Amino acid sequence: MAVMASLSAAMASDYIQADARFSGREIYSFQDEGRQVTIVSGGFRFTVGDRVLSSREAVLWVSSTDPDAMKHNVVVYLEGNAKVEDLGGASTTDKTMLVELHIQGRIVAAGRVVQKSHTDLPLYQRALGMLNAPQVSAEPQQQSAASVVTTPADEDERVDRQAPAQQGDDAAATPAPSTPPAAPEPAPVIRPQPLTFYADSFTSEVSDGVRTTIARGNVYLSLGDPDSNDFIELQAQRAVIFSEMSEGQEAATSPEVEDLLPRNDEKESITGVYLEDDVIISRGERQFTGPQAFYDFKVDRALVIDPVFRTRQEQRDIPIYIRASEARSLSRKQIYFRDASISTSDFHTPRYSINARSIYLEDRTRYDEEGVRVSQQTFYTRATHSTFRVFGWPVAYWPYHAGEVTQSHTALRKITVGSSSRFGSGVETEWHLFRLLGLVPPDGFKGTAEFNYYDRGLLGGVNLRYARENYNGYALVYGLHDRRQDDDFGRLRENILAPSERGRFLARHKQQVQGWEVQVELSYLCDRNFLEQFFNSEYWNGKEQETLIYAKKQQDNWAFTSLLQYRINRFLTQTESYPDFGFYMIGQPLLDDKLTYYNESHAGIKRWRPDNALDISSSDVMVRGDTRNEIDFPFRLGPVRMVHYATGRLSGWSDSPDNGDIYRPYGQVGLKASTDIWRQYNDVSSRLWDLRGLRHVITPYTNGFLSSTGGTEPHELYQMDQSIEGVRQMQGVVFGVDQRLTTVRGGAGRQYQTEWMRLNLSAGLMDIERPKPDATSDGRFFYYRPENSLPRNFINGEYTWHISDSTTFMTDANYDIDSGELGRANFALAIRRDPRLSYFIGLRKIRDYDSSIGTFGINYEINRKYRVSFFEQFDFDFRGRQNERTSFTITRKFERWYVSTTFDYNQVDDDFSLFFSIWPEGIPEVRIGMRTADLLSGSDRN
């Protein structure tokens, strides 16, 4: 019948000396032939000592050998994803198992136990069959505290992940086959899917080869492997089950049933089930509930009346509900709904929903051959005559849309109603592009469409983003009919004339082509202020608007580039290339690695074109060449790392503002030095500062250099590239020291090394031939390119103190030696007390702007329903002190909804607003409120 394998070596005692505890969804207990029997249905788990048994269903037989000493023999039958975990991490899994345990201790059931006999239950009959079958033990002469039995039919399917056996007398017994391996057998016949049936009572009759069974009370049927996503469960209070007699494997396409009803010598297959009253049909994350349903197993189809369909959207971790008048399951992956409503609300009448005349849902998730999901859950939807409703009121309509449900269940992403002093009252909407068009996006493609209406005009646009294996990019196009025809940028720039028809186009594409990386960009703007007025975040923080083709070939430590660039937007100062070629080599060893060589060279046809509004002439089309070559000689002087380096550079231009052809030789020599000094303090320990030892690392460094440009200065050249035309003659030296204190934090088993403090100090002394009259006071030295440094005499410092994992103090400062004043200083304290409280206090001072801004921000969760946030910025110096910005928000959480009210005053933009916002849980981009973070409310300052 079976092979018995010891789970662990025999202990000093034959009994496990520990209390046992088991649990499950339904627990039934009764006596059978003098033995105590317990049947557990759903999520069985049995724990005793360090051993854990688990399965979908189980049957336990308990007999007491010594009641006074609480000694028990327990036999456990496991069925459905059976698993036994033993000492040392060893585990054995199978579809069914029979485990024998000898326990000295109490046996406790966690949950309500119903005293009811189920001797005729198919599960119990299968368990008895295995219990009464003859057993063959690998070590029959030795009794262990725990042993497991499996059937030979399942032997080839069992996954045995036991820990390697130890040598010696205490080693675990290894099961041996009872007979030598036979010759290869024919391919096995696919087994019918297992079926489980239960009801409080049922009657059945057979007519013309068809059995009709009427079941009442807690009817339960399950079909398939519980570990598979195709596993289906059906529950109701009443059911009519139809089954047909079959011979052999003629009904292999339907689930075969043995011993489902009173014993019959013929095989049966269930063909259909009618369910009524409290109907629940579950398959993986999908669940139907309703009053009536019929399931046809022959064609794997179902009909549910007045259903509520529930699934979960993994990307946002929110439930999705579909309520309809009728649902038809067309296959395991296809469902059709009539007169449906989609929402995320648990309540029958949701606060927001998508209503449609018909909805088609298809599961496009990928599964393996055993039905286990192997990809992200994805649904394809198609809906007709859809309306987006808020509190039952329709606010948008679309006749048809289709797409994959990976972001939300509606084409509408965002809707905002509000007003702004610059744009007036308006409505902003954002949509999923492909869903709006009723198209399925290609793999890797995402798109949105915007349709916005303001008092000043109608703005519409499309955004497209894509990412495939060998290429990626994005494109956008916008158009505006501007009735106001002027732009405002605060009190200092008001009523600037603008055209009535305005727009933009931008496309950026990157692709890998046979070892080359190719980038293509195309940008068009209708006027100089359109980007700043309507896309202010991109204006201040985004990449420059350019039109170009760039190609790069990179291999090992060298790269070759080609740039073709043309200026379309006449109001931008840009450089054109027809084309420009570049070559880079980094860290090339010479003379057996005694020297290191670096090269960067450019050659091409260029043209510098300034803003047309400036009274400056463009350059002629010119030839420009530049080559920079550096040789490093690294060596050590004791513990100090030293590098002598020499740089030679030659540049030439065929046109210049005053002198026509011009050439510039450039030479630089220098010396770099650095070292590391450290010490470990293992005896340092502090509960207050959360310290377990300290490691102090000190890194002093210096760099001194001399350079000459042969008399050619930046003002004599067209400024096409700051790193080439901006090079000037200077010499200088910088000294610095970086210090770090690191420690170990975290509890037992999760300790980690982290930085406690950091202090970096540096000082630079620069001698420049022709200093800029408007040079910044914040001097900077660039270690890798001294000729591109910001040439000022300076002292810089920065300090960071991680007081704890959730509290950090930061400060940095710049002292300008040339003016003898503090040029810049920042102080900040950031505190986070998850999950309820976080706040920030900071002060920033910038001498050049005559500004000292204090900042305070706080987020506080009062309770599970209310959260408040406050933000304040005040300038203590600018314009004789002024409040820069004040903002206060209170947020209330409802069932699947958030509501917030915000007061905001912005002195920089001269804007005052009070607005109200509503958005559903899990979909924060869908808002109905007084403004958004874009046009109706966005700040145009960084």
Over residues 298-318, the pLDDT tens digits come to: 888 899 999 999 887 765 667
| Per-residue model confidence (pLDDT) at position 3 | 30
| Per-residue model confidence (pLDDT) at position 129 | 86
Q: Which residues pair with 472 in a beta bridge?
A: 467, 510
Q: How far is Cα 90 from Cα 69, in angstroms, rounded to an integer?
A: 30
Q: Is 934 strand, coil or helix?
A: coil
Q: Is 177 left (phi over 0), alpha (psi -120 to 50) or beta?
A: beta
Q: How far is Cα 936 from Cα 930, in angstroms, rounded to an integer?
A: 8
Q: Residue 170 carries which DSSP code?
A: T
| Per-residue model confidence (pLDDT) at position 403 | 66
| Per-residue model confidence (pLDDT) at position 712 | 87
In-domain check, residue 681: no
Of 727, 706, 730, 707, nearest to 716 by C-alpha is 727
Over residues 311-361, the pLDDT tens digits come to: 877 656 678 889 999 999 888 788 999 999 988 877 777 777 889 999 998
Q: Please, which residues have CB within 8 angstroms of residue 628's CB and are 6 or more apart in sequence?
A: 598, 599, 600, 601, 647, 648, 649
Q: How far is Cα 15 from Cα 71, in angstroms, rounded to an integer?
A: 8
In-domain check, residue 50: yes
Of 495, 430, 436, 493, nearest to 459 by C-alpha is 430
Q: How far is Cα 139 from Cα 150, in angstroms, rounded to an integer?
A: 16
In-domain check, residue 923: no
CA dihedral 300, 303, 309, 313 (to 10 degrees): 30
- Are the beta carbons of 74 and 107 closer than 8 angstroms? yes
- Are the beta carbons of 418 and 425 closer than 8 angstroms? yes
In-domain check, residue 417: no
CA dihedral 253, 259, 262, 267 (to 10 degrees): 40
- Are the beta carbons of 100 and 164 closer than 8 angstroms? no
| Per-residue model confidence (pLDDT) at position 521 | 98
| Per-residue model confidence (pLDDT) at position 921 | 67
In one-letter notation, the amino acid at residue 906 is: N
* Beta carbons within 10 angstroms of residue 446's beta carbon: 16
Of 40, 104, 94, nearest to 70 by C-alpha is 104
Q: How far is Cα 354 from Cα 341, in angstroms, rounded to an integer?
A: 6
- How far, rounded to the nearest angstrom, does the alpha carbon of residue 812 sit from its chain's CA centroid? 33
- How far, rounded to the nearest angstrom, does the alpha carbon of residue 865 sit from its chain's CA centroid? 26
Q: Is 852 strand, coil or helix?
A: strand
| Per-residue model confidence (pLDDT) at position 750 | 80
- Are the beta carbons of 878 and 858 closer than 8 angstroms? no
Exposed, middle or buried by CB within 10 Å (0-12, 13-18, 19+), for 134?
Answer: exposed
Q: Is the peptide bond before 177 cis (omega within 30 degrees of 0)?
A: no
Range of the domain at 82: 2-161
Q: Which helix (H) or strand (E) holds 902?
A: strand 897-906
In-domain check, residue 147: yes
Q: How far is Cα 316 from Cα 146, in angstroms, rounded to an integer?
A: 45
In-domain check, residue 10: yes
- Please list the ranges in the chain whose pLDDT falls under 50: 1-13, 136-144, 150-192, 248-266, 407, 773, 925-942
| Per-residue model confidence (pLDDT) at position 571 | 94
| Per-residue model confidence (pLDDT) at position 347 | 76
Sole residue written with tokens 């900040």:
828
In-domain check, residue 929: no
Report the domain count for the chain.
1
In-domain check, residue 306: no
Q: How far is Cα 705 from Cα 788, in angstroms, rounded to an integer?
A: 13
Q: How far does the chain reach from its first CA to its final CA, in angstroms?
A: 77
- Are the beta carbons of 726 and 788 closer than 8 angstroms? yes
